[in-house]
Structures are given as structure tokens and as C-alpha cells.
Amino acid sequence: MNNWFTRQSLYARLALVIFCSFLVVGVFSVIVLMRSSRAYQQEVTQIMHRDLAPFVVDHYLLFNEGKPDLSAIEHTFHDLMILGPNFEFYLLDTQGKILAYSADPTKIKRKTIQIEDIKRFSSSAKRGIVFGDDPRSSTRKKVFSAAPIYNKNKLVGYLYVILGSEIYDDIASMVTESQMIKWGVWLFAAGLGFALLTMLWVTGLFTRPLTRLTQQITHLQKSGFDQQQVAAEVVEQNLQHWRDDSDNEIHTLGCAFTQLLDKLNQQYTNVLTIDQLRKELLSHVSHDLRTPLASLLGYLETWEMNRDNLSEQQSTEYIAIARKSAERISKLVEQLFELAHLDSGTVQVNREPFSLPELVQDVMQKFQISAQEKQITLNMEPKNSHIRVVGDIEKLDRVFSNLMENAIRHTNPGGSVTIRLSPENRTVAVEVTDTGIGIPEVDVPHVFDAHYKAGNSVRGNTAHGGLGLAITKKLLDLHQSRIRVTSQVNEGTTFQFQLEAAG
């Protein structure tokens, strides 16, 4: 039973407990009402008819010369019964033994009446109910009126009158008799029923949010957490439903559940994204490394097999190509490590003030030869400035190198690459502009994604893995700087970012 009860829903259990309480209270109240009403009726009956027995004794002759006059008594009792059918008359001797009576002889169950009750009745004050033996039953007591009978000042017996002979004998008969009580009971039952329904309704109202929460959890459990749509919908609905500013415990629980779900959902999405990125990275890495590795191995094998037949020049050529492939592999691996390191979130930034034109000059120096080969002019504006910024020199060197390398590579001979430094309020704006081929509009939003190569890239170009700008963006993120790009196809491209001015 206990198990069965605890397995039911909260609402069902509350409803059952309330229903049982109301039932117990209702039944108990009706019994108390009936009993008190009956006691009241009996008290009123006894008070009203208290003088009935003395009156009969005074006005009717029941004893003749100390002996009961049975024919006169029978006559008297018969007359009195006609006047008051609810009374039963008994003539008792001084010990309480029944000498004569008005009732049906077959129904009489006692021969004597306890005389103490009669004495108590005679001596008691006007108020206060006194019960005496009912001759019709060996156990039952009833209200009565009694009076002693004297003959020449000598006590010869008692007249004992049972009041309300057969009425109000049981509660059921009382209810059927009294319309008032009937209405009262109905009214009470209706009131109780109404209160019960109200309580059930209110309980339902209180437990509904819990039911809702339970349904959501079950729904989520059934749909599985991989159905992120479901979790997102539940979070969305709950955000509107639960109020986290209220003291209501169920609302607090609902909010906590929503927050937990939201967090889990975000983490699940993160895990999925990371997993997806990991897969993509693996496929890119294997693809990027495969070509230079194949080339490296191919040239080395060919050189090894034909070593004796190759001229010195051919040998040098073979080794140079193999070396170039090895350099590409080395660069790619280095970039991948750099990106992974930047993603790990454990990168230290050594911020220090330094001269920005000096750094730009160094970078331009590095690319001078390759620029000259492509007949591209490298400029810095303004030419001889003393602009100082705060940042990590090594990381910013990588930023400028990446941008410069891209710019030279995507600019046709005769073009130019310009690095412009413009001191502003507390920052220095940096622009790297080229007069190159530009980036197609559709590719612009993606150029900072790792492994993204825009449509302008040379097909089959395996020397570049599309990691440079992704690394550049992360390096500038560490400097709280955001890099932006504007580009026009066949006109040129400009990358812009800002650095913190020193002092």
C-alpha cells in the first residue's frame, strides 16, 4: 500500500489525502451534529414534560387504600395514551418493580426500573438531563418524568413516564423525521463537497508547474540529448515561463533546470563543433601533407635509384626540389602547431613598448628579395616616424609577416604593398594595403577561417594551407585587437587593425 501510494503522482496523492480528510471530518461532524441535536431534543422534551408525572399523580387515582387499582389504572393509562401517544406510563412499587404499564406487553424487556435514577430526577434542579431505564430494552436509557405516589403520607409507589416513547430512537429515524436536520445535513454535505472541489482545484493549480517540469524532463529523456532542437525549444519555452525573481520554489527549480539544460546544450554543441573541427583538421592536414610528402619521397627515390646516371646539375636539382617539399611540410606542421597552441588558451603575451616603424622595417627587409623578384614595391607611411606601441614583438612580427607574404603573393608584378601607421587617440591604426588581385566578395567573410582558401588561390597550390590569416586573427585577439578586411577584385586588398599606443 505504501509502495502503491508513493508511486502515484503528487497531485493524486494530495487529492487522496484531502479527500480522505474531508470524508473523516464530514462523517465525524455529521455524527456529532446528530448526537448533539438528539441530546438537545431529549433535554427539551424532559424539561417540557417534567411535570407530567406529578400532574397525573395529583389528578388521577392510581392507588386505592395503599394497593394499585389496576382497572382504574388501565383506564387512566388508556385515556392518557390517546392524548399523548408518545408517552409510555408505568406504575412502579417503591423498589422500582413494574406493577402496571400502558405499552404492548410483548415489547417489555424489564421487570424493574433503577430507583436511583428516579430519585436523582426528583432531587435534580429544573435543568440537567437525567436518563432512566427503558423497559422496552434491557440496556437502553431514555428521558422520563416520574413522581412518587403517597397514600396517607406513606410512599406506596411511583408513576414513571417514558417521554418520546418510540421517537428519536435512532439517528436514521431522527433524520427522516426532521426536515430541518435533513436540510442541515444536505447543506453541510454540499458545503463540504464544494470545499473539497476547491481544494482539489487549488492543489491542481499548485502542482501543475511540477507536472509540466516532469513532462519536459521525460520528453527530453525520450528524445535523447542529441536532439538539440528539443532541448533548445524547452529552454526557449521555459525562459518565458519561469520567473527567476520570484520566491516560488517551483519557479526557482524551473529556472535552475532551464539554466542547467542551457549549459548542457551549449556544452553539447561545443563538443559537436570541436569534434567536427577535429575531423576537418585531420582531413585537411592529411591532404595538405600528402602532396609535398609524395613529392619529397618521389624525388629522393628517383635520385637514389639513378644516382650513378645523373649529372651533377640534375642531382642538385632533384635535391633542391626534395628540400623545398620538406620545407613546405615543415612550414605546415609549424603552422598547425601554432594554431593548436593558440587554441589551447594557454598562450602567454609578453607585452612591452617598442617602436612600430622599426618592426615594420625589419619585416619589409625580410620580404625585400621576394618583392624585388616580383617587381613589387614595398612602402611604409609615414616614412621616418617614432610611433611606439605596446604588444608582444614576436607575435606582431608574425602578424606583419603573414599579411606581407599574402599581399606579395596576390599582387601582380609592378604593383605595390603599403603599410600605413596612423596614430590616433590612444591607439595606432595599422593598414596593410596591396594593389593586387583582390578577394572575391563571397570569400571575404571566410578568409579568417582556418584552411579557407579563397577563389583567387592558385589551384593545386599545396604550399599554402590557408592557416596564415587564422593564426593572424588569433594573435591579434590576444592583443584585444580585431582585424578587418576590405577588398575589390583586380584593385587590391586592405587589412586593418589597431594596436595600443605606448605611454
Query: How far apart are alpha carbons 106 and 120 in whole angstroms?
Result: 29
Q: Which helix (H) or strand (E) holds 418?
A: strand 416-423
Q: Which residues contact 16 (CB under 8 A, 6 or more apart)?
A: 5, 8
| Shortest CB 460 distance to Mg ion, Å | 16
Query: Quick check: 436 binds Mg ion (CB under 5 A)?
Result: no
Give the residue, chosen from 231, 255, 430, 454, that forms a contact with ligand ATP under the rule CB under 6 A: 454
In which residue are the cell numbers 588581385 written?
Answer: 437
Determine which helix (DSSP H) or strand (DSSP E) holds 391, and give its type and residue range. strand 388-391
In which element (H, E) is residue 251 found? helix 249-305
Taking CB under 6 A as the criterion, the residue among 436, 462, 476, 499 binding ligand ATP is 436
Q: Which long-range contacts does 182-188 make (Cβ < 8 Å, 24+ apart)? A: 184/33, 185/30, 185/33, 188/26, 188/29, 188/30, 188/33
Positions of E strands within 88-213: 88-92, 98-101, 131-133, 141-151, 154-162
Distance separating alpha carbons of residues 215 and 209, to the nearest angstrom: 10
Secondary structure of 214-230 in the HEC alphabet? HHHHHHHHHHCCCCHHH
Binding status of residue 410 toward ligand ATP by CB under 6 A: yes
Judged on CB neighbours under 10 Å (0-12, 13-18, 19+), 82 is exposed
Work out how close the CB of 336 gets to ligand ATP at its nearest, in angstroms, rounded to a whole number.
10
Minimum CB distance to Mg ion, residue 258 (Å): 44
Note whether 302 binds ligand ATP by CB under 6 A: no
- Interface with Mg ion includes 411 (CB under 5 A)? no
Which residue, 238, 234, 231, is CA-closest to 267?
231
**Position among 115, 133, 466, 497 found at the interface with ligand ATP (CB under 6 A):** 466
Residue 134 near ligand ATP by CB under 6 A: no
Q: Kindly state the smallest distance separating residue 362's Cβ from ligand ATP, in Å.
A: 19
**Dihedral pair phi/psi, residue 9, rounded to 5°:** -70, 160
Write out the E strands in 152-261.
Answer: 154-162
Q: Which of 467, 475, 476, 499 binds ligand ATP (CB under 6 A)?
A: 467
Give 91 or 450: the residue with its C-beta nearer to Mg ion.
450
Name the residue among 464, 465, 136 with its Cα closest to residue 281: 465
CB of 413 to ligand ATP, least distance (A): 15
Of 29-37, 121-129, 423-431, 468-476, the segment contacting Mg ion by CB under 5 A is: 468-476
Query: Is the Cβ of residue 50 or residue 464 nearer to Mg ion in the bound state?
Result: 464
Site track 114-143 with Mg ion (rule: CB under 5 A), x = hit:
------------------------------
Shortest distance, position 502 Cβ to ligand ATP, whole Å: 28
Query: Which partner in Mg ion, ligand ATP, none is near 407 (CB below 5 to 8 A by kind)?
Result: ligand ATP
- What minimum distance in Å lies between the beta carbon of 270 and ligand ATP? 24
Q: Does 462 bind ligand ATP (CB under 6 A)?
A: no
- Residues of the shown chain interacting with Mg ion in the complex, contacts defined by CB under 5 A: 406, 468
- Residues of the shown chain interacting with ligand ATP in the complex, contacts defined by CB under 6 A: 335, 402, 406-407, 410, 434, 436-439, 447, 452-454, 456-457, 464-470, 493
